[in-house]
Structure formats: C-alpha cells, structure tokens
Structure 1
Amino acid sequence: MRNKAIPLFYLEHWLVKGSTKKIRREQGHVVIVQIGTQQIGFVVDSLIGQEEVVIKPLDALLQGTPGMAGATITSDGGIALILDVPNLLKHYAKRSKIKFDRFDKFSA
C-alpha cells in the first residue's frame, strides 16, 4: 500500500501440503485483507473476479479444515472454497510460532 509496509503471505504455503519452496515471481496478484485495523496481503495465483455467493457448509470429508469457512458454486458452475481468514491466520501462527493476537477477537 502507499508508503506502508504490510505482511505478505503466500496462500500456496498454507493450503498446499508440503509446499515450502521459496516462490519468486516477477509479477503477481496480492489481495489486501483488513481485519480490524490490521492489513495483510495474500499472494494469489490469479484474480477471477467478484460475485455474491451463498456459502454452503463443507461436507464431512473437509469439515474442520483449518481456514476453510465453506464452499460455493460459482456463476459459471465451478466450485470455490471460501476462506476463513482469522481462522487461517490462527492456524498459520500455530505452525510458524508467529503471534497474531490482534486477530483473535475477530474470529467467529
């Protein structure tokens, strides 16, 4: 953001098991998320767009997956997982011993 440093996280490192390789990209997309007054950036593979969706609960196989709030069917018939950002940050903090205390009060 303008003259302000924010932490960047690669979603691939969180969501793909065993993905610890360093990724160096010349170009990419960053989604800025604000939780309370804290901003963080997620580096993503691509931006598809924005649409209103109905979030459906995950089935038994995926239920309890850290950082996942549910799933939806997109307007083109695809399936998209919906992230639970505060939960994802808590799970990442446990794995990497990073403190995200200020996110605790915003989780559901």
Structure 2
Amino acid sequence: GQLTIIVRDKSIPLFYLQNWLASKSPRVEQRIGHGHVVIVQIGSQRVGFVVDTLIGQEEVVIKPLDNLLQGTPGMAGATITSDGHIALILDVPDLLKQYAAASRI
C-alpha cells in the first residue's frame, strides 16, 4: 500500500524523493523513521517527500536545463548555490501531476 504520514489529523501520501526521481534505478531501502519530510501543497493537494537532508533557504536564479536533461519530469532547472555547488530545482506542480496520474492507475 501507499505510505502515509499523519499531520494535524490528516493523512498525507508519503514518497521517498530519491526513488521518485530515479525511477529507473534500483529502489533505495526505505528506512522508516529516518530522513526529513517536506510537505508540499498546491491547491488542496498535499504530498510529503522524504529527503536526505535539508540545506536551508536562499534566493536563487533558475537556469534552464541542458538539452540532455531538458524535459526531465519533475525538474524545473538548476542553479548555483551561494557556496558554489550546483543544485537541481524541483518542479513541484509537475511532481504532483505525476503523483495524481500514478494514483489513478
């Protein structure tokens, strides 16, 4: 069945973001009770994503993805962080659309 998390007496579907984004790779062992959950909401739809770490918040300029990665589901672009690292920017509305489509199957 679908993993869920209860927040304020509401059940929210829970996904391991690493498995969601790397669907062709072998599944990562899901260690219940480990990780951070980021809850996103668009309209009335809420989903929780388990992530490895939380880095923080900063304003960034989103650059388009190279042709090789352009059109990758769930990816909006990339940026260079204040410490010089490259970070992919998630397209949360697209991730939620994928979730909605998968939950209809």
Same structural fold, with TM-score higher than 0.5 when normalized by the shorter chain? yes
The residue aligned with 1:103 is: none
1:31 shift after superposition: 0.3
Q: Deviation per CA, 1:39-76, whole angstroms, max 9, x where unpaired? A: 11100001010111111100111111111000000000
Out of 15-24 and 53-62, give the one that drifted further.
15-24
The residue identity in structure 1 corresponding to 2:47 is I
For the residues of structure 2 that align with 1:84 and 1:49, how far apart are their CA atoms? 18
TM-superposed deviation, 1:92: 4.7
The question of 1:69 aligning with 2:68 is answered no
**Whole-angstrom distance in 1 between the partners of 2:41 and 2:61:** 22
Give unpaired runs (5+ residues) of structure 2. 1-6
Match of 1:98 in 2: 103
Judging by fraction of residues, say which structure has more helix.
1
Paired amino acid for 1:57: P
1:69 aligned partner, one-letter code: A
Q: Name the counterpart of 1:81.
A: 88
**Residue from 50, 58, 79 that aligns with 2:57:** 50
Show the counterpart of 2:10. Answer: 4
Cα distance in 2, alignment partners of residues 91 and 37 from structure 1: 16
Question: TM-score, normalized by length of structure 2?
Answer: 0.81
Q: Aligned equivalents of 2:17 and 2:78: distance in 1?
A: 17
> How many correspondences in the alignment?
98
Which has a greater percent of strand?
Answer: 2
Report deviation, 1:27: 2.4
Structure 1: state its 5+ residue gaps.
Answer: 100-108
